[in-house]
Amino acid sequence: MKLSLSQIETFYWVARLKSLHAASRQQHLAQPTVSARIHELESTVGYKLFERHAQGTELTPRGLAFLKKAETLLDLADNILADDAMPLRGLLRIGSNESAALAGLGAFLATLGERYPELNVELTVDVGSMLRSRITAGGLDFAILTNPSEHPQVRDVLLGDSDMCWVSAKGKLKQREPHSPADLARLPILSVPAPSSLHALTMGWFASSRVSPPNINTCNSLAVTLQMVVSGIAIAILPRAIVQRELDDGTIDLLAVTRPVPPLPIYASFPVMGDTKVFEDIAEMAGTALLASGLTR
């Protein structure tokens, strides 16, 4: 029995996703078909490629060595077919933090769809720490986040810095001169829950002046947080790009502060397994869209 490219591709996705079920979704195949391809491949090479257990699949030592050969073969096939086939098709699992989702994500996905019309996107919006965990575990193919993974099998590409600012309801604070951390600590504060980057930024801004605000409230939605600020319930640090409309129409105030609010870096993260050029191109698309939206600079 000869090896087939379809067997090699299925092996690659099972190895990457560590799950027959996830690989079947990625390739739009029935799970028995995926299982059959792996069984045929193992019969052909004459040794086990995976150990099966309740949590999924794990490469055997010989399977790990075979993966390197499979990646080389798939890269070669991509090069051969580059002029005649779509460079990306099937399911792409994308994760995004909410600030990107509220700013440039729509334009990014539109560009992605134009470039790769045979691509299906499964979108997850979550805080950066959760996206980082999922991409490290193989649950996402590409993510836009503020928490770089720093994992050896994940590449992080800096897309830019997002300007952050203190905002309050219009006229909530009568004092016009710059506010100190001690001034703002007397007010109700609203932030995204820990362990988010925004929560760390907010608490770090106070901690840098040795101030501990007693009234910290949390909300897992930036859109709802903004509405709470507009309603006068609390003040918050938010990305300048997602509050610009409210600043322009006068429903919120931009607070002058004595200590600048640091920007938050935004990254694109993707696994380094196999050919990463297509993901580098996707990261460039994302960076262009976020820059155009004003979320990054």
Q: What pLDDT, on a 0 to 100 scale, did the predictor assign at position 144?
A: 95
Residue 278, burial from CB neighbour count under 10 angstroms (0-12, 13-18, 19+) = middle
Pair of tokens at residue 265:
């870096």
pLDDT value, residue 85 = 45
Average pLDDT by consecutive 10-residue portion of the chain (297 residues)? 81 86 78 86 88 85 88 76 58 92 93 90 90 86 86 87 94 83 94 90 93 92 94 94 93 93 93 77 92 92
pLDDT at 275: 62
Under 8 Å between Cβ of 175 and 183: yes
Write down the pLDDT at residue 4: 82
pTM of the model: 0.69
CA distance 210 to 195: 20
Q: How far is CA 151 from CA 14, 22, 54, 177, in A?
A: 20, 21, 25, 44
pLDDT of residue 81: 55
Distance of alpha carbon 131 from alpha carbon 146, whole angstroms = 10
Domains and CATH numbers, the chain: 5-81 (1.10.10.10), 90-161+264-293 (3.40.190.10), 164-254 (3.40.190.10)
